[in-house]
Structure 1
Amino acid sequence: MTDLTDAAARREHILRAAVRQGLLDPERALLAGFVDLDAVARTVGTLHAAFPGPPAVLHAFAAKANSLVPVLAELERLGMGCEVATGGELARALAAGFPPHRIVFDSPAKTRAELEWALDLGVAVNADNFQELARIDALLAGRPCASRIGVRVNPQVGGGAIAAMSTATRTSKFGIPLSDPGSRRELLRAFRDHPWLTWVHTHAGSQGCPLELMARGVAEAVAFADEVNGTLGRRQVTGIDIGGGLPVNFAGEEVTPGFDAYAASLRAHAPGLFSGGYEIVTEFGRAILAKNGFTAAYVEYTKTVGGRPIAITHAGVQVATRTVFAPESWPLRITAHGPDGGAKHGSPVRQDIAGPACFTGDLLARDRALPPLEPGDIVLLPDTGAYYFSTPFHYNSLPEPAVYGVRTGADGRVAFELVRPAQDPYELPGPAGRTAPVRPSRGLVRR
């Protein structure tokens, strides 16, 4: 019997079942995403175990990592909250069943209407800048509000290996800088003048950031919260939102770093976070879902060009946008499978794995050693449960693939739940919002 505790064997088991049940088909279903809901539950369990409390902790899933409503609903059932960064994500969180008091709204560009909506609901709000604080003050107009309101601070502790993902640099666009001249003094005045301002938020990490850097950023936020309370002579700051950003190991099966390792780093660098004086919110996204999902796509053609074998598949920039445009920062593993979903075991051949889009750089991997691929084979992309199939890029009008939630019974039987149906590429927008179906002929053109 298949060892379903082994991640690679579990993926192959699910892939075989998907082929048998027709969820992947070389003519009708060329590409699909899968979320292993059993594995998601285990990961959420490790997160709760790493922050056992006290103090009280709300783990708010970062919706941008996978904003599909059924996935969000599953996380709500597992006891998580939801962090949203747009009005659209707020709407999805509400549709998924998150109560407003377990939703946190972060965005550097919240509109007046979005703020009014969130405050009316009682959603927690983290302001990004002084102008937003003034806008919130005008909206509240002295009225009581059920929302927890905080301000995002930039601890300016530096960046990680991926500049575009580093949020705590000296010039990051996010939050109010703590070290700029006069900034800290103005922040203290804001807390003094606005008793409704009771939380401090920071987000110092992301993919490519070491744990120590992230923990030092949180330590700066805790120190500032202590400074606010000490300066004002009252316990005004009651909670600290430490953000998320735990990096993911895309190079292998090992889940590293784990939530427990990050919690240990936080205890070493920011012990005041666990003193009991502050409630805690976290905002993990990629670390919860990335390794619990995969993408599978058929190989349509193979050829050799300039001595280089190339496999042209149906997974490319439309689902792996970051990997295609920044392959050094976002490399993906790829495994080769036969038409039945079983792993291929031939002698590896160095080959390019290409996507279907009409530009040369649409490559999932360059010069990658894999068993020789043939038309009708399947390539599987592990670790794509976050940001990949849930954040499509509509280049060449390539359609969004179907996404399935997966549960595996004790007897090994695999049950699939449709999370998002495949987009029909031939349903085109027409006048007044109507759609005009235009479909290819199923037979040969007759002259």
Structure 2
Amino acid sequence: MANHQLTALHSPERRELILRAAVRDGLLDPENAQLAGFLDLDAVAATVDSLHRAFPGSVEVLHAFAAKANSLVPVLARLRGLGMGCEVASPGEFAQALAAGFEPAQIVFDSPAKTRRELAQALELGVAVNVDSWQELARIDELLTTRPTLQARPTRSRIGVRVNPQTGAGVIGAMSTATATSKFGIAPADDGNTERLVEAFRDRPWLTWLHCHVGSQGCPLDLMAQGVAATVALARKINSELGRRQVVGLDIGGGLPVNFADDRATSGYQEYVERLRAHAPDLFSGEFQLVTEFGRSVLAKNGFTAAYVEYTKTSGGRAIAITFAGVQVATRTVFAPDSWPIRVTAHDATGAAKHGEPVEQDVAGPACFAGDLVAEARPLPMLEPGDLVALLDTGAYYTSTPFSYNSLLEPAVHGATVAADGTVRFATLRRAQTVADLLGRTGG
């Protein structure tokens, strides 16, 4: 699907249609549901379709959604229904992927801190495992040779090694995983590591994959493709030195950056595949099976967060709107606004867009610290109590990954579909947390 078609699904008119329907249906209510997340399920399906279409049909590819981006089980189940696999990086995400119905062969287990128990579970089920360190590799050696269940029935897991191509950082250091000193993977360029990797594969016929991930938001496509190219070169070196096709698959990670500046889908999967063809043409030779691990790019632009304005005030001449959307649902934006700015739109109590002369305003959250701002000095039509604000491009990592500061309750998340006649239908993806839920979780 072309970028302009995806952009049409991210239009202000479509968001307003969904927002107004949510108000009418009581999914947003100033007394009972002051905050909620929304995911446009039609747009999600179109985005996944564009991902599938971008990669050539001549190559076997599993697109494994990075569960960290949105680990709600109904969301994962819908992505499974769209033909995706699931990449997990914790016991919780592992359990959520299984609960969503993914077959073990569709799950990829990544984490720099896998315990023996977690590794044993993955190997016994047949989940793909990407080894992150020499010590983890030794741990798998031990499990495969000493664990009775794995001796009785050899694992069906695809086992690979995550390598750090050390291609450098993007503009957000915390999102860059292929720096010289990254905590992730084994760096082939470090003294002796390339030779050691060749020997590791020589000694272990079950070691058949390589994995790399250069980073995500803030990483240019060429930098990402260069990391993949270095990994392809290593795979071919291993196969050449061993005289056999042992590395049969490459997990090239995810990390496609998202445009948070406007509604355009400015950087898409097709563009990334073109950069991969330029830097790593052998990736598509048919020699290797492929796995991808896209997360943010699948969902971010397909969701928004809506919250009521409870109070307004001025301080030092600055207009301030106190809303129910703050650090608990926009954690990265609040703590690192320069790296993670988001767009905010103003709406009246019906969900209709507000118009009028823009006034610089702070859009503040409800948390009890001064920095709880999702936007600072943002020009918007003047907000009033009872209005709604929408935080755009928040389908990944926002309401789906709440931060329990001040014991603020987790909001509901709703999926929306829009019929040809404009009728909006909703499905609950996560119900709102109640005070009773909170007390149960905190020992009350």
**Shorter-chain TM band:** over 0.9
Q: Is the CA contact (8 Å cut-off) linking 1:243 and 1:283 kept in structure 2?
A: yes
Q: Is the CA contact (8 Å cut-off) linking 2:10 and 2:302 kept in structure 1?
A: no
Task: Classify the secondary structure of the residue corresponding to 2:313.
Answer: strand
Off by >3 Å, runs of 4+ in structure 1? 3-6, 426-430, 433-436
Structure-2 residue corresponding to 1:358: 368
Q: Is the CA contact (8 Å cut-off) linking 1:248 and 1:287 kept in structure 2?
A: yes
Matched letter for residue 317 of structure 1? V
Structure-2 residue corresponding to 1:115: 119
From 24, 27, 30, the counterpart of 2:31: 27
Q: Any unmatched runs of 5+ in structure 1?
A: 437-447
Matched letter for residue 88 of structure 1? G
Higher normalized helix content (fraction of residues): 2
From 167, 179, 193, the counterpart of 1:157: 167
Distance 1:377 1:429 in 2: 30
Structure-2 residue corresponding to 1:259: 269
From 268, 276, 283, the counterpart of 1:273: 283
Matched letter for residue 391 of structure 1? T
Distance 1:218 1:390 in 2: 30
Q: Which moved more, 1:280-289 or 1:416-425?
A: 416-425
Distance 2:204 2:69 in 1: 33
What does the per-residue CA deviation read over 1:287-330, in whole Å, with 9 as the maximum and x for residues that have no partner? Answer: 00000011000000000000000000000000000000000000
Structure 1 residue 435, shift from structure 2 partner: 7.3
Distance 1:92 1:351 in 2: 40
Distance 1:5 1:275 in 2: 34
Matched letter for residue 368 of structure 1? R
Structure-1 residue corresponding to 2:387: 377
What does the per-residue CA deviation read over 1:138-164, in whole Å, with 9 as the maximum and x for residues that have no partner? Answer: 111184210000000000000000001
Q: Is the CA contact (8 Å cut-off) linking 1:398 and 1:425 kept in structure 2?
A: no
Structure 1 residue 126, shift from structure 2 partner: 0.3
Structure 1 residues 74 and 23: alpha-carbon distance in aligned structure 2, compared to 1, 3 A threshold: same
Distance 2:339 2:9 in 1: 29
Structure 1 residue 52, shift from structure 2 partner: 2.5
Distance 2:268 2:94 in 1: 28
Structure-2 residue corresponding to 1:441: none
Q: Is the CA contact (8 Å cut-off) linking 1:427 and 1:435 kept in structure 2?
A: no
Task: Classify the secondary structure of the residue corresponding to 1:16.
Answer: helix
Structure-2 residue corresponding to 1:444: none
Q: Is the CA contact (8 Å cut-off) linking 1:154 and 1:174 kept in structure 2?
A: yes
Distance 1:243 1:230 in 2: 24
Structure-2 residue corresponding to 1:61: 65
What does the per-residue CA deviation read over 1:256-289, in whole Å, with 9 as the maximum and x for residues that have no partner? Answer: 2100000000000000100100000000000000
The TM-score, its normalising length taken from structure 2, stands at: 0.95
Structure 1 residues 6 and 85: alpha-carbon distance in aligned structure 2, compared to 1, 3 A threshold: closer
Q: Is the CA contact (8 Å cut-off) linking 1:397 and 1:425 kept in structure 2?
A: no
Distance 1:8 1:100 in 2: 39
What does the per-residue CA deviation read over 1:189-248, in whole Å, with 9 as the maximum and x for residues that have no partner? Answer: 111111100000000121000000000000000000000000100000000000000000
Q: Any unmatched runs of 5+ in structure 2?
A: 1-6
Structure 1 residue 87, shift from structure 2 partner: 1.2
Task: Classify the secondary structure of the residue corresponding to 1:120.
Answer: helix
Distance 1:99 1:264 in 2: 31
The answer as to 2:181 corresponding to 1:171 is yes
The answer as to 2:317 corresponding to 1:313 is no
The answer as to 2:90 corresponding to 1:80 is no
Task: Classify the secondary structure of the residue corresponding to 1:176.
Answer: coil
What does the per-residue CA deviation read over 1:77-108, in whole Å, with 9 as the maximum and x for residues that have no partner? Answer: 00000000011111100100111101000000
Structure 1 residues 429 and 6: alpha-carbon distance in aligned structure 2, compared to 1, 3 A threshold: closer
The answer as to 2:8 corresponding to 1:7 is no
Task: Classify the secondary structure of the residue corresponding to 1:154.
Answer: coil
Q: What's the Cα RMSD here?
A: 1.4
From 162, 166, 183, the counterpart of 2:193: 183
Task: Classify the secondary structure of the residue corresponding to 2:163.
Answer: strand
Structure-1 residue corresponding to 2:3: none
Structure-2 residue corresponding to 1:323: 333
Matched letter for residue 157 of structure 1? T
Question: Where does 1:200-211 land on structure 2 (aligned, <5 Å)?
Answer: 200-211=210-221
Structure-2 residue corresponding to 1:443: none
Structure-2 residue corresponding to 1:301: 311
Distance 1:46 1:5 in 2: 13
Structure 1 residue 425, shift from structure 2 partner: 2.8
Distance 2:413 2:369 in 1: 26
Structure 1 residue 6, shift from structure 2 partner: 5.8
Matched letter for residue 336 of structure 2? A
Task: Classify the secondary structure of the residue corresponding to 2:301.
Answer: helix
The answer as to 2:413 corresponding to 1:403 is yes
Matched letter for residue 86 of structure 2? C
Q: Is the CA contact (8 Å cut-off) linking 2:10 and 2:301 kept in structure 1?
A: no
Distance 1:318 1:74 in 2: 25
Question: Where does 1:96-115 land on structure 2 (aligned, <5 Å)?
Answer: 96-115=100-119
What does the per-residue CA deviation read over 1:100-145, in whole Å, with 9 as the maximum and x for residues that have no partner? Answer: 1010000000000000000110000000011111111111118421
